[in-house]
Copies of this chain bind each other. A is one copy, B any other.
Amino acid sequence: MLTFALIGAGRIGNVHAANVAGHPGARLGVVVDPVPGAAERLAEPFGARSSTDISAAFADDIDAVIVGSPTPFHVDHILAAVSAGKAVLVEKPVDLDLARVDECIATVGADASRVMVGFNRRFDPGVNELITRAKNGDVGPVRQLTIISRDPAAPPLSYVAQSGGIFRDMAIHDLDLARAVLGDFVEVEALGQRSDPALEEFGDFDGAVTTLRTADGAIATIINSRFCATGYDQRLEAFGALGSLETANHRETSVVFNSQAGSTSRQYQNFFLTRYAAAYRAELDHFIASIEAGTAPQPNLHDGRAALLLADAATESATSGVRVALNDNTVGAGARA
Protein backbone atom coordinates (compact mmCIF):
# COMPACT_ATOMS: atom_id res chain seq x y z
CA MET A 1 0.00 0.00 0.00
CA LEU A 2 1.53 3.29 -1.16
CA THR A 3 0.53 6.60 0.37
CA PHE A 4 0.50 9.43 -2.15
CA ALA A 5 0.94 13.14 -2.10
CA LEU A 6 -0.61 14.98 -4.99
CA ILE A 7 0.89 18.32 -6.02
CA GLY A 8 -1.62 20.35 -8.03
CA ALA A 9 -5.39 20.36 -7.53
CA GLY A 10 -6.23 21.33 -11.12
CA ARG A 11 -7.99 19.39 -13.84
CA ILE A 12 -5.41 16.62 -14.07
CA GLY A 13 -5.01 16.60 -10.27
CA ASN A 14 -8.68 15.70 -9.97
CA VAL A 15 -8.15 12.68 -12.20
CA HIS A 16 -5.17 11.46 -10.20
CA ALA A 17 -6.91 12.03 -6.85
CA ALA A 18 -9.91 9.91 -7.82
CA ASN A 19 -7.72 7.19 -9.31
CA VAL A 20 -5.52 6.99 -6.21
CA ALA A 21 -8.58 6.96 -3.93
CA GLY A 22 -10.22 4.16 -5.93
CA HIS A 23 -7.05 2.07 -6.22
CA PRO A 24 -6.86 -0.95 -3.89
CA GLY A 25 -3.10 -0.53 -3.46
CA ALA A 26 -2.99 3.19 -2.86
CA ARG A 27 -4.10 5.79 -0.35
CA LEU A 28 -4.37 9.53 -0.93
CA GLY A 29 -2.41 11.07 1.94
CA VAL A 30 -2.30 14.74 1.08
CA VAL A 31 -3.18 17.19 -1.67
CA VAL A 32 -1.04 20.33 -2.01
CA ASP A 33 -1.91 23.43 -4.01
CA PRO A 34 -0.95 27.06 -3.37
CA VAL A 35 -4.39 28.33 -4.41
CA PRO A 36 -6.35 28.85 -1.18
CA GLY A 37 -9.07 26.20 -0.79
CA ALA A 38 -8.22 24.24 -3.93
CA ALA A 39 -6.39 21.39 -2.21
CA GLU A 40 -8.96 21.25 0.55
CA ARG A 41 -11.91 20.94 -1.81
CA LEU A 42 -10.23 18.12 -3.67
CA ALA A 43 -8.90 16.27 -0.62
CA GLU A 44 -11.94 16.36 1.63
CA PRO A 45 -14.31 13.85 -0.08
CA PHE A 46 -11.43 11.36 -0.20
CA GLY A 47 -10.58 11.78 3.49
CA ALA A 48 -7.11 13.15 2.67
CA ARG A 49 -5.16 15.99 4.28
CA SER A 50 -4.61 19.21 2.36
CA SER A 51 -2.11 22.03 2.41
CA THR A 52 -1.01 25.14 0.57
CA ASP A 53 2.56 24.42 1.62
CA ILE A 54 4.61 22.26 -0.75
CA SER A 55 6.60 20.71 2.08
CA ALA A 56 3.46 18.81 3.12
CA ALA A 57 3.97 16.67 0.03
CA PHE A 58 7.21 15.33 1.43
CA ALA A 59 5.93 14.32 4.88
CA ASP A 60 7.24 11.13 6.45
CA ASP A 61 4.15 9.02 5.79
CA ILE A 62 4.23 9.80 2.06
CA ASP A 63 5.71 7.13 -0.22
CA ALA A 64 5.12 8.63 -3.63
CA VAL A 65 4.46 12.05 -5.12
CA ILE A 66 2.39 12.85 -8.18
CA VAL A 67 3.67 16.08 -9.72
CA GLY A 68 0.73 17.78 -11.40
CA SER A 69 1.91 21.36 -10.97
CA PRO A 70 2.41 23.75 -13.91
CA THR A 71 5.27 22.69 -16.21
CA PRO A 72 7.81 25.31 -15.05
CA PHE A 73 7.65 23.78 -11.52
CA HIS A 74 8.05 20.15 -12.59
CA VAL A 75 11.81 19.91 -12.21
CA ASP A 76 11.83 21.65 -8.80
CA HIS A 77 9.14 19.32 -7.52
CA ILE A 78 10.84 16.23 -8.92
CA LEU A 79 14.11 17.18 -7.27
CA ALA A 80 12.50 18.00 -3.92
CA ALA A 81 10.56 14.74 -3.90
CA VAL A 82 13.53 12.62 -4.91
CA SER A 83 15.67 14.35 -2.33
CA ALA A 84 13.04 13.45 0.29
CA GLY A 85 13.26 9.82 -0.81
CA LYS A 86 9.93 9.68 -2.56
CA ALA A 87 9.02 7.89 -5.77
CA VAL A 88 7.71 10.32 -8.40
CA LEU A 89 5.11 10.30 -11.16
CA VAL A 90 5.46 13.55 -13.09
CA GLU A 91 3.12 14.86 -15.75
CA LYS A 92 4.60 15.44 -19.21
CA PRO A 93 6.63 17.35 -20.27
CA VAL A 94 9.45 17.20 -17.76
CA ASP A 95 10.31 20.75 -18.85
CA LEU A 96 10.25 22.74 -22.07
CA ASP A 97 14.01 23.38 -21.90
CA LEU A 98 16.25 20.49 -22.82
CA ALA A 99 19.14 21.87 -20.75
CA ARG A 100 16.94 21.96 -17.67
CA VAL A 101 15.89 18.34 -18.29
CA ASP A 102 19.54 17.34 -18.62
CA GLU A 103 20.27 19.08 -15.36
CA CYS A 104 17.36 17.30 -13.69
CA ILE A 105 18.56 13.92 -14.94
CA ALA A 106 22.10 14.64 -13.71
CA THR A 107 20.90 15.70 -10.26
CA VAL A 108 18.46 12.80 -9.85
CA GLY A 109 21.18 10.32 -10.76
CA ALA A 110 20.50 6.73 -9.82
CA ASP A 111 17.15 7.68 -8.27
CA ALA A 112 15.87 8.10 -11.83
CA SER A 113 14.73 4.49 -11.56
CA ARG A 114 11.98 5.69 -9.21
CA VAL A 115 10.82 8.58 -11.43
CA MET A 116 8.15 7.97 -14.06
CA VAL A 117 7.02 10.45 -16.73
CA GLY A 118 3.28 10.46 -17.39
CA PHE A 119 3.02 9.84 -21.11
CA ASN A 120 -0.46 8.53 -20.47
CA ARG A 121 -1.27 7.46 -24.01
CA ARG A 122 1.20 4.56 -23.86
CA PHE A 123 -1.16 3.07 -21.27
CA ASP A 124 -4.35 3.34 -23.27
CA PRO A 125 -5.38 -0.33 -23.62
CA GLY A 126 -5.50 -0.14 -27.41
CA VAL A 127 -2.29 1.83 -27.80
CA ASN A 128 -0.52 -0.42 -25.34
CA GLU A 129 -1.69 -3.50 -27.24
CA LEU A 130 -0.50 -2.02 -30.53
CA ILE A 131 2.93 -1.19 -29.08
CA THR A 132 3.26 -4.61 -27.48
CA ARG A 133 2.20 -6.58 -30.53
CA ALA A 134 4.28 -4.43 -32.88
CA LYS A 135 7.38 -4.99 -30.76
CA ASN A 136 6.47 -8.65 -30.57
CA GLY A 137 6.83 -8.82 -34.34
CA ASP A 138 3.18 -9.46 -35.24
CA VAL A 139 3.54 -7.38 -38.42
CA GLY A 140 7.23 -8.08 -38.93
CA PRO A 141 9.61 -5.16 -38.46
CA VAL A 142 7.46 -2.03 -38.54
CA ARG A 143 8.25 -0.10 -41.74
CA GLN A 144 5.60 2.61 -41.73
CA LEU A 145 4.04 4.02 -38.60
CA THR A 146 1.21 6.47 -39.17
CA ILE A 147 -0.15 8.57 -36.31
CA ILE A 148 -3.10 10.90 -36.73
CA SER A 149 -3.58 13.04 -33.65
CA ARG A 150 -6.01 15.93 -33.60
CA ASP A 151 -7.40 17.87 -30.68
CA PRO A 152 -11.07 18.84 -30.64
CA ALA A 153 -10.39 22.57 -30.41
CA ALA A 154 -7.45 24.95 -30.30
CA PRO A 155 -6.41 26.24 -26.86
CA PRO A 156 -6.64 29.98 -26.08
CA LEU A 157 -3.77 32.12 -27.34
CA SER A 158 -2.75 32.82 -23.76
CA TYR A 159 -2.04 29.11 -23.40
CA VAL A 160 -0.28 28.90 -26.76
CA ALA A 161 2.08 31.71 -25.68
CA GLN A 162 3.65 29.59 -22.95
CA SER A 163 3.01 26.10 -24.38
CA GLY A 164 6.36 25.66 -26.11
CA GLY A 165 4.54 25.32 -29.44
CA ILE A 166 2.55 22.55 -31.12
CA PHE A 167 5.48 20.12 -31.21
CA ARG A 168 6.56 20.42 -27.56
CA ASP A 169 3.03 20.71 -26.21
CA MET A 170 0.89 18.43 -28.36
CA ALA A 171 2.95 16.36 -30.82
CA ILE A 172 5.25 15.34 -27.96
CA HIS A 173 2.75 12.57 -27.10
CA ASP A 174 2.93 11.26 -30.64
CA LEU A 175 6.71 11.57 -30.75
CA ASP A 176 6.84 9.50 -27.58
CA LEU A 177 4.56 6.86 -29.12
CA ALA A 178 6.69 6.81 -32.27
CA ARG A 179 9.72 6.10 -30.07
CA ALA A 180 7.78 3.44 -28.15
CA VAL A 181 7.14 1.57 -31.40
CA LEU A 182 10.25 2.29 -33.48
CA GLY A 183 12.97 3.30 -31.00
CA ASP A 184 15.40 6.05 -31.90
CA PHE A 185 15.25 8.22 -35.00
CA VAL A 186 18.13 9.64 -37.02
CA GLU A 187 16.26 12.29 -38.97
CA VAL A 188 13.25 14.52 -38.40
CA GLU A 189 11.38 16.74 -40.79
CA ALA A 190 8.28 18.77 -40.09
CA LEU A 191 5.91 20.96 -42.06
CA GLY A 192 3.87 23.44 -40.07
CA GLN A 193 0.44 24.82 -40.95
CA ARG A 194 -1.15 27.99 -39.70
CA SER A 195 -4.93 28.31 -40.08
CA ASP A 196 -5.17 30.96 -37.38
CA PRO A 197 -2.95 33.91 -38.43
CA ALA A 198 -2.72 35.02 -34.79
CA LEU A 199 -0.26 32.18 -34.25
CA GLU A 200 2.33 33.97 -36.35
CA GLU A 201 3.16 36.21 -33.41
CA PHE A 202 4.29 33.14 -31.46
CA GLY A 203 5.91 31.41 -34.41
CA ASP A 204 3.52 28.57 -33.70
CA PHE A 205 1.36 26.36 -35.88
CA ASP A 206 -2.04 24.70 -35.56
CA GLY A 207 -1.33 21.87 -37.96
CA ALA A 208 1.75 19.83 -38.75
CA VAL A 209 3.01 16.84 -40.64
CA THR A 210 6.17 15.33 -39.19
CA THR A 211 8.20 12.51 -40.68
CA LEU A 212 10.89 10.66 -38.77
CA ARG A 213 13.35 8.10 -40.06
CA THR A 214 15.19 5.41 -38.15
CA ALA A 215 18.66 4.16 -39.00
CA ASP A 216 17.00 1.03 -40.43
CA GLY A 217 14.87 3.07 -42.82
CA ALA A 218 11.54 2.77 -41.00
CA ILE A 219 9.43 5.92 -41.31
CA ALA A 220 6.98 7.40 -38.83
CA THR A 221 4.48 9.97 -40.12
CA ILE A 222 2.65 12.14 -37.59
CA ILE A 223 -0.29 14.28 -38.70
CA ASN A 224 -1.41 16.83 -36.11
CA SER A 225 -4.16 19.39 -35.90
CA ARG A 226 -5.17 21.64 -33.03
CA PHE A 227 -8.82 21.35 -34.08
CA CYS A 228 -11.10 18.56 -35.27
CA ALA A 229 -14.82 19.04 -35.76
CA THR A 230 -15.62 15.39 -34.98
CA GLY A 231 -13.81 15.38 -31.64
CA TYR A 232 -10.58 13.96 -30.35
CA ASP A 233 -9.09 12.14 -33.36
CA GLN A 234 -6.45 9.68 -32.20
CA ARG A 235 -5.30 6.86 -34.45
CA LEU A 236 -2.17 4.77 -34.89
CA GLU A 237 -1.25 2.30 -37.60
CA ALA A 238 1.88 0.17 -37.60
CA PHE A 239 2.60 -1.48 -40.94
CA GLY A 240 5.12 -4.16 -41.82
CA ALA A 241 5.61 -6.97 -44.30
CA LEU A 242 3.32 -9.34 -42.37
CA GLY A 243 0.42 -6.92 -41.93
CA SER A 244 -0.65 -3.94 -39.93
CA LEU A 245 -2.04 -3.09 -36.52
CA GLU A 246 -4.36 -0.14 -36.11
CA THR A 247 -6.33 1.51 -33.35
CA ALA A 248 -9.66 3.26 -33.88
CA ASN A 249 -11.22 6.34 -32.36
CA HIS A 250 -13.48 5.98 -29.34
CA ARG A 251 -16.96 7.37 -29.78
CA GLU A 252 -19.32 8.82 -27.23
CA THR A 253 -21.45 5.66 -27.41
CA SER A 254 -21.68 2.80 -29.89
CA VAL A 255 -25.14 3.88 -31.07
CA VAL A 256 -25.69 4.18 -34.82
CA PHE A 257 -28.72 5.93 -36.27
CA ASN A 258 -29.73 4.63 -39.69
CA SER A 259 -32.07 6.77 -41.75
CA GLN A 260 -32.70 8.20 -45.18
CA ALA A 261 -29.55 10.30 -44.62
CA GLY A 262 -27.37 7.20 -44.16
CA SER A 263 -25.93 5.77 -40.95
CA THR A 264 -24.60 8.13 -38.33
CA SER A 265 -22.30 7.18 -35.45
CA ARG A 266 -21.65 9.46 -32.54
CA GLN A 267 -18.73 11.91 -32.37
CA TYR A 268 -15.30 10.84 -31.23
CA GLN A 269 -14.96 11.29 -27.50
CA ASN A 270 -14.34 14.97 -27.16
CA PHE A 271 -12.20 15.40 -24.09
CA PHE A 272 -8.80 13.91 -23.35
CA LEU A 273 -9.71 13.03 -19.76
CA THR A 274 -12.65 10.98 -21.05
CA ARG A 275 -10.80 9.44 -23.99
CA TYR A 276 -7.81 8.48 -21.88
CA ALA A 277 -9.56 7.72 -18.57
CA ALA A 278 -8.52 4.07 -18.73
CA ALA A 279 -4.98 5.11 -19.66
CA TYR A 280 -4.62 7.26 -16.55
CA ARG A 281 -5.77 4.33 -14.40
CA ALA A 282 -3.39 1.91 -16.10
CA GLU A 283 -0.52 4.39 -15.82
CA LEU A 284 -1.08 4.59 -12.06
CA ASP A 285 -1.30 0.80 -11.88
CA HIS A 286 2.06 0.44 -13.58
CA PHE A 287 3.65 3.07 -11.36
CA ILE A 288 2.38 1.44 -8.15
CA ALA A 289 3.31 -2.08 -9.28
CA SER A 290 6.81 -0.98 -10.28
CA ILE A 291 7.53 0.93 -7.10
CA GLU A 292 6.16 -1.90 -4.94
CA ALA A 293 8.29 -4.41 -6.86
CA GLY A 294 11.40 -2.23 -6.80
CA THR A 295 11.60 -2.15 -10.58
CA ALA A 296 11.97 1.00 -12.68
CA PRO A 297 8.70 2.33 -14.13
CA GLN A 298 8.56 3.28 -17.80
CA PRO A 299 8.58 5.81 -19.46
CA ASN A 300 11.31 7.49 -17.43
CA LEU A 301 13.20 10.80 -17.45
CA HIS A 302 15.30 9.66 -20.41
CA ASP A 303 12.14 9.01 -22.40
CA GLY A 304 10.89 12.44 -21.39
CA ARG A 305 14.15 13.95 -22.60
CA ALA A 306 14.13 12.00 -25.88
CA ALA A 307 10.61 13.10 -26.77
CA LEU A 308 11.52 16.71 -26.03
CA LEU A 309 14.60 16.39 -28.23
CA LEU A 310 12.40 15.22 -31.11
CA ALA A 311 9.96 18.06 -30.47
CA ASP A 312 12.83 20.54 -30.54
CA ALA A 313 14.10 19.08 -33.80
CA ALA A 314 10.60 19.16 -35.34
CA THR A 315 10.19 22.78 -34.27
CA GLU A 316 13.51 23.63 -35.85
CA SER A 317 12.64 21.82 -39.08
CA ALA A 318 9.21 23.43 -39.39
CA THR A 319 10.77 26.82 -38.84
CA SER A 320 13.86 26.46 -41.02
CA GLY A 321 12.43 24.28 -43.77
CA VAL A 322 15.20 21.67 -43.65
CA ARG A 323 15.57 18.16 -42.34
CA VAL A 324 17.22 17.84 -38.96
CA ALA A 325 19.65 15.01 -38.30
CA LEU A 326 19.75 13.47 -34.84
CA ASN A 327 23.12 12.00 -34.13
CA ASP A 328 22.33 10.89 -30.63
CA ASN A 329 18.85 11.36 -29.38
CA THR A 330 18.97 9.43 -26.17
CA VAL A 331 22.20 10.39 -24.38
CA GLY A 332 23.46 13.82 -25.37
CA ALA A 333 22.25 16.84 -27.26
CA GLY A 334 21.43 16.05 -30.88
CA ALA A 335 23.84 17.47 -33.43
CA ARG A 336 21.91 19.07 -36.24
CA ALA A 337 22.54 18.79 -39.95
Contact = CB atoms under 8 A, between A and B. Distances in A.
A144 B248 contact: no
A322 B189 CA distance: 11
B263 A264 contact: yes
A195 B257 CA distance: 21
Contact of A219 (B18, B209, B248): B209
A136 B249 CA distance: 26
Interface in A198-230: 207, 209, 211, 213, 217-219, 221, 223, 225, 227-230
B239 A225 contact: yes
A253 B194 contact: no
**Copies of this chain per assembly:** 4
Nearest to A249: B254
A52 interface: no
Interface stretch (A86-94, A122-130, A303-311): A122-130
Nearest to A256: B246
A183 interface: no
Contact of A255 (B129, B191, B213, B239): B129
A225 B143 contact: yes
Interface in A314-329: 321-323
B242 A207 contact: no
A265 B337 CA distance: 43
B258 A246 contact: yes
A214 to B, nearest CB: 11
A330 interface: no
Contacts of A261: 264, 267
B241 A258 contact: no
A241 B218 CA distance: 31
A227 B207 contact: no
A253 B21 CA distance: 25
B193 A143 contact: yes
Interface in A259-279: 259-268
A292 interface: no
B144 A207 contact: yes
A202 to B, nearest CB: 17
Given A45-B24, A126-B253, A195 B246 contact: no
Interface in A29-51: 45, 47
Given A138-B257, A267-B260, A211 B191 contact: yes
B125 A252 contact: yes
A244 interface: yes
A79 interface: no
27 contacts: A24-B45, A126-B253, A138-B257, A139-B259, A144-B193, A144-B207, A191-B213, A191-B219, A193-B217, A193-B219, A195-B241, A209-B221, A227-B241, A229-B258, A230-B259, A230-B260, A243-B259, A243-B260, A245-B255, A246-B256, A247-B254, A261-B264, A263-B264, A263-B267, A264-B264, A264-B265, A321-B323
Question: What 4 pairs across the A-B complex have the smallest Cβ distances?
Answer: A243-B259, A126-B253, A248-B254, A230-B258
